[in-house]
Amino acid sequence: MPEPISSVTDSLKAGNRVVAYGIAGIVLILLAAALFLFLNLPDANAFNAKVERIFVENDDLRTGAEIKLLEILAQSGTSFSEVLTSYRSVIFVLLVFSTALLVAALVFLVMIIALNRRISAIQRSGIQVASLMISREARAVYINDLEFALTEAALETLSVLAEARMDDEVLTGAQIEAVISGRNEADCDEAAGATRVKRLRDTLGNQLVSELLVKTIARRGYVLAVGKDTIRMI
C-alpha cells in the first residue's frame, strides 16, 4: 500500500519543520523572558543611592553618629546585593532547565504524533514481519514471536531464501533446487524449485492463516481471530 507510507514521510517532514519552529519559538520566548528578568533585577548600587539621597535631603543629619548609622545601612544593602547576584544565577539555571524541558516535551509530542500515524499505517497494511528467526534445531520458524513448525524440506527452502534475501539476491526455481540438492544449476529443473516453494507456502501459509485469521479451538470449532469492531459488510 504505497499511499499511507508516503503520507507518513510527508507528515514526518512537516513534523520536523514544526519541531524546528517550535524549538526556535521556545528559545526566543525564554531568551526574552531572561532578558526581561535580568534587566528588571535591582542594581546592587540601588541601596547606596537611596542612603545617599536620605543623607543629602536631610540637612540636620550631620553628626558623626548619625552618619555612621547611614553607612552601616548602606553596607547591609551592599551585602544584600551579593544575594541578588546569586538570585541571578539561580534564575539563569532555572531558565536553561525550563528551555531544555520544553524542547524535550515538544520533541516527544511530535514523536508521539508521528509514531501514532505510523502505527495506524502499519495496522492498515496488514501483517508486518518485524522479526524472522529460523531455528534448525527446533525445526521451526519464529515470525513476530509466533512459532511455526516446518518440515525438513520446507525449512531448507526457507533458509535458502533467507540467505539470498540477506545478500539482496533473487533466486530462480532452478537455483533453489541447485543450492538444496548440491547439483549444478544447469542440471536442475525449474519445476523442482517451484515445487519446493509451493510446499513451503502450503505449510507456512496454512499455519499463518490458522494463527492469524481462522483459529482452531480444540474440541469446540473455528473462530475468526479478528476483533468484532473491525468487521464490516458491504
Partner 1 sequence: MTRLFAAAALALVLAGPAAAECYADYKAKRDEPLKLHYGVAQVSDGNCSPGAAEGELAPRLAGDGWTLLNVLSTFGPEGLEERKASAGAYFLRY
- Residue ranges binding partner 1 (CB under 8 A): 48, 51-52, 55-56, 59, 61-64, 67, 70-71, 74-75, 78
Query: Which residues partner with 168 through β-bridges?
Result: none
CA–CA dist 193, 156 (Å, integer) = 12
Nearer to partner 1, 63 or 184 (CB): 63
Residue (of 38, 47, 42, 39) closest to 79 by Cα position: 47
- Give, for 223, the enclosing helix (H) or strand (E): strand 221-224
CA–CA dist 47, 77 (Å, integer) = 5
Nearer to partner 1, 46 or 94 (CB): 46
CB of 99 to partner 1, least distance (A): 35
Nearer to partner 1, 75 or 125 (CB): 75
Nearer to partner 1, 51 or 158 (CB): 51
Listed in order, strand segments (DSSP E) in 38-189 are 132-135, 140-143, 146-149
- Give, for 224, the enclosing helix (H) or strand (E): strand 221-224
Nearer to partner 1, 55 or 142 (CB): 55
CB of 87 to partner 1, least distance (A): 21
Residue (of 99, 95, 54) closest to 74 by Cα position: 54
CB of 47 to partner 1, least distance (A): 9
CA–CA dist 163, 140 (Å, integer) = 16
CB of 90 to partner 1, least distance (A): 25
CB of 66 to partner 1, least distance (A): 9
